[in-house]
Structure 1
Amino acid sequence: MGVKDGFMGASVMMKVALILLIVANLFSWIAFTTTSWGYIDSNIVNFRGDGLWMRCGESVGCSRSDGTRLDWYAAFQAFGIFGFVGINLAMLLVVLTMFVGSCKGNAEANMGAVIMCFAGAVCWLIAVIIFAAEWPDWVGNVPDKFGFSFALAIIALIISVVAGILLVVGGKGGGGTSPA
């Protein structure tokens, strides 16, 4: 069985869910790796972008923020990791149910993909809420705004929920016909 046969044998809902998860995965990767969750523009740091793992400024360079002693930032990072991994695992399970003969028709793998879609979305949502609640207070009295990584995390979690719903509605039977 080839990739084309696996894709053609899957239900329309599974195909759409796979495409949505590819997009959600792309947005999740960008949000996870970039320093654009929030921007600060001030005389002290010039223009700085904060991300999950680094903080970069035009005039001060970059500094790592992993291993921080701020509890809220550590929680933000932890839930960001869980959200990122959840969306990656959801896509992997959908790929397995669509393209691997021994997983085709496997309801457990499909249910695992559904669970990972929702778990990843919930964890990204918690990370977004933590960042939105704490970051302005942490920044202080300087002009700040949320960046594109923040927005992409929100879009990724919404797309993941939609993909999970599609997998529940159209993924019964695990993604297509069983091999003969």
Structure 2
Amino acid sequence: MTAEPQRTTWPVPPPDGYTVDDLYNLPDLPPHTELIDGSLVFVSPQRVFHMLVMYLLEAGLRQTVPDEFRVRREMTVVLGRRNAPEPDLLVVRAEAEQSRRQTRYEAADVVLAVEVVSPDSEERDRETKPLKYAAAGIPHFWLVEMAGEKDRPAVHTYELDPVTKSYTNTGIYHERLKLTVPFTIDIDLTAIDHL
């Protein structure tokens, strides 16, 4: 006797695509589901690099973040009716936190969005998300990629040009991430070797 294959029933998208309301009301969505251009995006399992970089940057940001900001990870940011991505890390204004049951932030609450590039998200992290974050007015964006012989993080930093509503590259950091905006930051990127 052979067992019947398990079948998964995926919801059929509406003709105009999903909305933020759908994202929060569809039952049984996998954790960390994102909404991009009205489509649901499911996250694949991550590499050890992704986990270590998130830990390293989160710890570094927490050491220097001023009281008016909060460092958060993997929280949905509503950019519009059909876009609600989940940056790997983000810095939000402290007043944006209304309760510990909160499940999302608005784009206006976010000061910095960070994406750590994974094999399954290269195009979204390098092309789609930065354009959407910039259009939504998020002032700072970092893109983190694996680089070099030791597979260490390379952090590409961007600042929003308010006139063009696009990001301008402000640097690429390989060994030490030392910045003065959005606040003073100093993170030893080589410390990933000891995590």
TM-score (norm 2): 0.26
Higher RCO (Cα < 8 Å, 6 or more apart): 1
* Higher strand residue share: 2
Q: TM-score, normalised by structure 1?
A: 0.27
Structure having the higher Rg: 1
